[in-house]
Amino acid sequence: MRKYKSIRAFRDQISFLIDRKAFKYHVLFFFFLGLVFLLSAGMGEQSFSPWKTFNILLGNGSNFESMVVESFRMPRILISILVGIGLAVAGAIMQAILRNPLASPDVTGITGGASVAVVLFLAIFSNESNALTVSVHWMPLAAFIGATIVAICLYLLSWKNGLSPFRLVLVGIGLWALTKALTNLFMILGPIHQAAQANVWITGSVYGANWSNVQILAPITVLLLLITLIMTRHLNIQELGEDIALGVGARIERQRLGLLILCTAFIGSAVAFAGGVGFVGLMAPHIARKLVGSSFGNLLPLSAMIGAILVLLADTIGRTVFLPIEVPAGVFTAVIGAPYFIYLLYRQRNA
């Protein structure tokens, strides 16, 4: 048992094993995330050193400094992190259900479904002066419904004497194209200035995030993460494949449906606030799997952290390197993600 360390508490009523290697990676990536967090909070037109930023966050900065860091940058950073977590966990769940490393929420059109729903939501519930007529709280729900509809379509359309991963991916690519066309269509339907905004949003950007967004997204993400934690053991069983899962007594269809809904909930909430930040759901679980293996107890938290780091880094680079223009985070994740996808394809060439 040298690979694991056992922890017992409450007179052995609670006991579990900790994978030493995975634990090391978790700590490492946690510090890495913290570092990126400090760097990101310190960078911009007003730059502070990480140490200074740390002090400002503790409340030892001037009014101006704490305003820059806490009111302007912090919401954006938190949204990036939450979105990264949501997309990465959704990607990990998706890969477990479909048992295909190439299946990510973007390529299968689920992210696209959420985008269509949000654009439609904006088009329907906007008045002349481009203000929303209903509370923005409903937007994640709309995105969730859009993502769920596409996920159900994907599931039904790929069903033909069972579910072949390849058919799933092909049908997914088709749905992807369809959602792109629909998004464009609804953008034309909406007011023009809104369409210009929507375009940046579809590329995936956390531009314009504020504290009220964080207040909506944070509780949703935490709640979903808790549910995921409870469902983790189902995920492990799903990955064994249909026959074995049935053999060990799992109600796989019901669990699969539950997991799929969980996945769309993550995507819906992430897309509602950041648009289609692409390929995070593909890359993060993959990198995590390389490091700690396929047990979801280890895989999920690590992919969540990697996802958060990816989105946060992409956004930080996007808003600092090319000043005065801002490049949406989605451009960066796609520029790294698409070659990564190609690399995976190359790796799988004999599969």
Partner 1 sequence: MVLQSIKGKSFGLIIGATLLLLFNFLSIILGYTNITIQTAIDAFTNFNSSNEHIIILDVRLPRALIATAVGVSLGVAGALLQALTRNPLASPDILGFNAGASFSIVVALMLFSVTSLQAITWIAFIGAAIAGFLVYFLGSIGRDGMTPIKMTLAGAAIAALFASLTQGLLVMDESALDQVLFWMSGSVQGRKLDILFAVLPYLVIGLIISLIISNKINILNLGDDVAKGLGQRIMIVKLIAGISVILLAGGSVAIAGPIGFIGIVVPHVVKWLVGNDYRWIIPYCAIVGGIFLLIADIGARYILMPEEVPVGIMTALVGTPFFIYIARKGGRKA
Distance CA 153, CA 240 (A): 25
| Residues numbered 266-295 forming contacts with partner 1, rule: CB under 8 A | 278-279
Q: Under the criterion CB under 8 A, does residue 157 sit at the interface with partner 1?
A: yes
Distance CA 143, CA 272 (A): 6
- CB-wise, 160 or 290, nearer to partner 1? 160
Q: Which of 175, 198, 287, 306 binds partner 1 (CB under 8 A)?
A: 175
- The H-assigned helical ranges of 99-241 are 110-124, 138-158, 165-189, 192-204, 211-238
Q: Under the criterion CB under 8 A, does residue 169 sit at the interface with partner 1?
A: yes
Q: Which of 180, 218, 225, 246 binds partner 1 (CB under 8 A)?
A: 180
Q: Which of 29, 37, 121, 176 binds partner 1 (CB under 8 A)?
A: 176
Q: Which of 152, 163, 178, 240 binds partner 1 (CB under 8 A)?
A: 178
Count of residues for the chain?
351
Q: Under the criterion CB under 8 A, does residue 173 sit at the interface with partner 1?
A: yes
Q: Which of 188, 222, 223, 229 binds partner 1 (CB under 8 A)?
A: 188
| Residues numbered 106-145 forming contacts with partner 1, rule: CB under 8 A | 106-107
Size of the site for partner 1 (CB under 8 A): 47
User: Cα separations (Å) of 265 from 83, 120, 262?
Assistant: 12, 18, 5
For the bound state, the minimum distance from the C-beta of residue 156 to partner 1, rounded and expressed in Å, comes to 11
Q: Under the criterion CB under 8 A, does residue 339 sit at the interface with partner 1?
A: yes
- CA-CA-CA-CA torsion for 281, 208, 221, 277, nearest 10 degrees? -10
Distance CA 285, CA 263 (A): 13
Distance CA 172, CA 170 (A): 5
- In this structure, is the dihedral angle defined by the CA atoms of residues 261, 267, 270 and 271, taken in order, positive or negative? negative
- Our CA angle for 64, 67, 71, nearest 5°, is 165
Q: Which of 35, 229, 244, 338 binds partner 1 (CB under 8 A)?
A: 338
Which one-letter amino acid corresponds to residue 216? I
Q: Which of these segments, 7-15, 218-226, 308-316, 329-337, binds partner 1 (CB under 8 A)?
A: 329-337
Binding site for partner 1 (CB under 8 A): 102, 106-107, 157-158, 160, 166-167, 169-171, 173-178, 180-182, 184-185, 188-189, 200, 203, 278-279, 322, 325-328, 330-332, 334-335, 337-339, 341-342, 345-346, 349-350
